[in-house]
Amino acid sequence: MKISLFSKFVWLWLLLLAGHVSFAQCDDKSIRKHCKTSLGHYIFETADYKPYSTFAKKDYLEAEFSAYEGENYRIVNLCSGFAEDVEFTIIAPDKTELFTNAKGKSVKHFDFSASQTGDYTIRFKFSSSAKTQASCVAYAVGYK
């Protein structure tokens, strides 16, 4: 079967387009848009994202954010491109677990009042089979 040069060009173009579309959710513009809608009435404090290439060989990623005693916070899980929902856990400065969505992975945010000032940890856990080239670990933190 002989494939024409035009057919090869079309297939190459489709593959490149598919690759571009699959990474569209892991960029500044998309993350900012999701932050705004997901934080609701909370004031944006910080957000970050990591594309697949930064965690391709890992089972989890961790991020830290500072919180102040008595302030109210919302942590939003903005992960996308995984074959299943990503588990996320919030850990206090004293290493106690404040929240996990391990049993209800469809939960995408957690609201809390900080009981102590310090650096809190967000741990994102995912199985190797759930990751795809389009996977993106992202989160946002807001306060009120």
**Where in the chain are the domains?**
26-143
Three-state DSSP class for residue 68: coil
Q: CATH topology for 26-143?
A: Jelly Rolls (2.60.120)
| 52-91 per-position pLDDT tens digit | 888 888 889 999 999 999 999 999 999 888 888 889 999 9
Structure tokens at 87: 């588990």
Residue 29 burial (CB < 10 Å; 0-12/13-18/19+)? Answer: exposed
What pLDDT sits at residue 30?
79
Distance CA 48, CA 78 (A): 9
pTM: 0.75
* Banded pLDDT at 12 (limits 50, 70, 90): very low
Question: What residues have CB less than 8 Å from 128, skipping those under 6 apart?
Answer: 59
Distance CA 46, CA 54 (A): 20
